[in-house]
Amino acid sequence: MAIEQQISQSIITGIEQLYDAKVSAAQIQLQKTKKEFTGHLTLVVFPFLRISKKSPELTAQAIGEYLQANEPAITGFNVIKGFLNLTIAPACWLTLLNEINANPRYGIVPVTENSELVMIEYSSPNTNKPLHLGHVRNNLLGYSLAEIMKANGYNVVKTNIVNDRGIHICKSMLAWEKWGEGATPESTNKKGDHLIGDYYVKFDKMYKKELAELQAAGQTKEESESNSTLMKEAREMLLKWEAGDKAVVELWTMMNNWVYAGFDQTYKKMGVDFDKIYYESTTYLEGKDLVLEGLEKGVFYRKEDGSVWADLTPDGLDHKLLLRGDGTSVYMTQDIGTAKLRFRDYPINKMIYVVGNEQNYHFQVLALLLDKVGFDWGKDLVHFSYGMVELPEGKMKSREGTVVDADDLMDEMINTAREISQELGKLDNLTQEEIDNICRVVGLGSLKYFILKVDPRKNMTFNPKESIDFNGNTGPFIQYTYARICSVLRKAAEQAIEIPTALPTNTLIAEREENLIQTISEFSTTVKQAGTEYSPAFIANYIYDLVKEYNQFYHDFSILREEDLQLKAFRLVLSANVAKVVKEGMALLGIEVPERM
């Protein structure tokens, strides 16, 4: 913020005058003063002790006295050990509020034609099952990170890689062929992804039944798995698909189209989207070509069984398989192929993969391989590694049908929001259309906020009941505060109170009001930090702190009943800018805020 820059410059000048020494702006450590101390900004003086050759307390005292005498923005100071707490003049806060008020998108860096291009991959679903709770965290993190990077001035391309080939897909296809009796999404009145997921579960159930029968007949576990006719048929189907068998490809196309239609509905409801979707069925062939090209150039090597490998031991890793002996590709090969297509389609400066932390090693290897095959951004790719998400009951398993589907979870959240809002009387005097929209916004906002407020690197437990609470660090608490501010601004408009575009800087404001302006101003640095550290949690927890601070202000001060017109105008401008930042910040998390609630 401008105040910090102004004071930093005065500190540099002061140290030069006091100690005849030059320091850089990077050596000036200014931070927000802790709530238990008096002041707005705190200077850490320890870096200057070698220059002053005095104790931390005496050094801080000397710099404080200089600033109070020479910097108009400073009206007072106090020293706590090696920390100099500075009090900023009220006029400075009012000037800052005017600057924030004049900028409709305060804290957001505009994208220009010279902006670097960042591609962010997220979602990466399999076409043998619907999206589940784990995908929800992935999609919400990916979408939010894309919005945060845009807000930091990057040109962003949101991309998805759909895993639409492989043995797991054939399991669903085979089960539908054997037991589906021609079922379609229309005939069953089921979303296509849910229908196909049922047959994935069915395959696993019948496979286990077959293994149990073979083992009951005297076969070992290994023998029964080797002799399973069901698994053999699935593998044969995969080979037919890879060979382009007409009937198998037609079945694959029909069932995948059902799944894509289902995914589209889920993404729309979740509020996430993509600029470009890639499919493994296309990219794995591209990857094979690149690997064979690397083999010719001596970048990779072939073993006696015909398999192709990369030797990564000079990089501190091991030998990595890229093509099996029969010429079929592995996941790594597909990722190389996908990178090739993406680099062809876009001038990528940075690539960010939003993938769970169980794939950490995979991305270490991928970064090295992409560098070896000639992608400039290869070694600098970012694996946005996030922790797993569980329910209070524990882990989920797709094959056993114990996952929580994203669709079911979103519906449950919306219904719970409806029940709680009705109990609290928050839906009174609203039309049915308004009620439905508010329940959707609050339900999904609860889900998104609860997931995004957690440090992405940590594992987390999602508790639906805890997330929908109109008090505490939750989405509904923030949404309700925003609606409250909108109500105040509507009443001001009804009373024909004009909100000024600029405030006089001689308005007498309270310390809590100064603190609230300071908190609003921190939005820009928070957006920058969230982009640098790839963490939407910074935004979420900042908004909660801002809203908490505003609610205390709202409790302690009159706004519309304030008799001093200058003070009333100030508090309306202050409230409007809190609302502006809350709306902008929540949008970076993919969360809507209702104007009535």
In a domain, 572, yes or no: yes
Q: What is the CATH number of the domain that holds 74?
A: 3.30.1360.70
Evaluated on CA atoms 531, 536, 541, 545, the torsion sign reads positive
Do 411 and 524 share a domain, yes or no? yes
Q: How high is the pLDDT of residue 394?
A: 52
In a domain, 484, yes or no: yes
Q: Output the pTM of the full model.
A: 0.91
Q: How high is the pLDDT of residue 20?
A: 92
The H-or-E segment that residue 84 falls in is strand 83-88
The H-or-E segment that residue 286 falls in is helix 280-296
Amino acid (one-letter) located at 527: V
Which tokens is 462 given? 């999602």
Q: How high is the pLDDT of residue 472?
A: 87
- Tell how far CA 57 is from the center of its chain: 43
d(CA 58, CA 297): 67
Residue-range definition of the domain harbouring residue 427: 406-588
Do 449 and 538 share a domain, yes or no? yes
Do 561 and 466 share a domain, yes or no? yes
Q: How high is the pLDDT of residue 399?
A: 45
Structural contact between residues 278 and 123, judged by C-beta atoms closer than 8 angstroms: no
From 272, 299, 330, the end of a domain falls on 272
d(CA 381, CA 371): 10
The H-or-E segment that residue 403 falls in is none
From 272, 297, 319, the end of a domain falls on 272
- Tell how far CA 38 is from the center of its chain: 35
> Which residue has 């039944």 as its token pair?
209
In the chain, how many domains are there? 3
Q: What is the CATH number of the domain that holds 570?
A: 1.10.730.10
First to last CA, the chain: 33
d(CA 578, CA 585): 10
In a domain, 329, yes or no: no
In a domain, 247, yes or no: yes
> Quick one: which of 225, 215, 239, 75 has its CA closest to 165?
239
Do 172 and 263 share a domain, yes or no? yes
Contacts 24+ apart (CB under 8 A), 308-315: 310/365, 310/368, 310/369, 310/372, 312/365, 312/368, 315/368
pLDDT tens, 155-202? Answer: 999 999 999 998 999 999 999 999 999 999 999 999 999 999 999 999
In a domain, 318, yes or no: no
Q: What angle do CA 380, 381, 386 make, to 5 degrees?
A: 130
Q: Which residues of 417-448 are buried (b: 16+ CB within 10 A; e: fewer)?
A: bbebbeeeebbeeeeeeebeebbbbbbbbbbb
Instruction: Spell out, as residue ranges, where the chain has pLDDT lower than 70.
Output: 1, 393-402
Do 45 and 178 share a domain, yes or no? no
Do 451 and 573 share a domain, yes or no? yes
In a domain, 536, yes or no: yes
DSSP string, 461-514: E--HHHHS-SSSSSHHHHHHHHHHHHHHHHHHHHTTPPPPSS--TT----HHHH
SS3 state at 138: helix
Strand segments (E) across 114-233 = 117-121, 155-162
The H-or-E segment that residue 86 falls in is strand 83-88
- Tell how far CA 150 is from the center of its chain: 12
Do 49 and 172 share a domain, yes or no? no
Contacts 24+ apart (CB under 8 A), 299-303: 299/372, 299/373
From 37, 55, 88, the end of a domain falls on 88
> Which residue has 């399999």 as its token pair?
126
In a domain, 157, yes or no: no
d(CA 539, CA 371): 33
In a domain, 412, yes or no: yes
By CB neighbour count within 10 A (0-12 exposed, 13-18 middle, 19+ buried), where does 586 fall?
buried
Do 526 and 415 share a domain, yes or no? yes
Do 75 and 215 share a domain, yes or no? no
Structural contact between residues 321 and 287, judged by C-beta atoms closer than 8 angstroms: no
The H-or-E segment that residue 451 falls in is helix 432-452
Which tokens is 290 given? 């690149």
For 418, half-sphere exposure in the C-beta direction (CA atoms, 13 angstrom radius) is 13
Do 74 and 175 share a domain, yes or no? no
Do 564 and 434 share a domain, yes or no? yes
Q: Which residues of 122-157 are buried (b: 16+ CB within 10 A; e: fewer)?
A: bbbbbbbbbbbbbbbbbbbbbbbbbbbbbbbbbbbb
Do 522 and 423 share a domain, yes or no? yes
